Amino acid sequence: MAVVAMKRRQNPRNGALENLLRGFSIEVMPRTAARIDDFRTLLPRGTRIYLAHIDGTPFDDMLATARRLSQQGFAVMPHFPARLIRDRAMLAEWIDRYRHEAGVDQALVLAGGVSQPQGAFDNSMEMLDTGLFDDLTRIHVAGHPEGNRDVAPNGAPGVLLDALRWKQDFARRKGLEMAIVTQFAFESAPVIKWANSLVEAGITLPVHLGVAGPAKLQTLIRFAIACGVGPSLRVLQKRARDVRKLLLPFAPDDFLNDIAAHKAAHPDLNISHIHFFPLGGIKAAAEWARDHGGDTAQPDAQD
pLDDT in tens, 180-231: 999 989 899 999 999 999 999 999 999 999 999 999 888 888 877 777 676 7
pLDDT over 70 percentage in the chain = 84
- pLDDT, average across residues 40-65: 95
**What's the confidence (pLDDT) of residue 225?**
77
- pLDDT, average across residues 240-265: 84
How many Å apart are CA 180 and CA 183, to the nearest integer?
10
At 295, which amino acid appears?
D
Name the pTM for this structure: 0.89
| 50 close to 77: Cβ distance less than 8 angstroms | yes
**What's the confidence (pLDDT) of residue 155?**
46
Q: Please report, for the chain, the start and end positions of each structural domain, with discontinuous segments joined by +.
A: 15-216+251-291
Query: Does residue 10 or residue 253 have the better pLDDT?
Result: 253
Angle among Cα 167, 168, 169 to the nearest 5 degrees reads 90
> What one-character DSSP code corresponds to residue 211?
E
- Give the architecture (CATH level 2) of 15-216+251-291: Alpha-Beta Barrel (3.20)
**What's the confidence (pLDDT) of residue 244?**
62
Give pLDDT tens digits for 122-162. Answer: 999 999 999 999 999 999 999 999 866 555 544 456 788 99
Instruction: Return the bridge partners of 212, or none.
Output: 277
207-216, 231-240, 249-258: the lowest-pLDDT one: 231-240
Instruction: Return the bridge partners of 80, or none.
Output: 109
Instruction: Return the bridge partners of 271, or none.
Output: 207
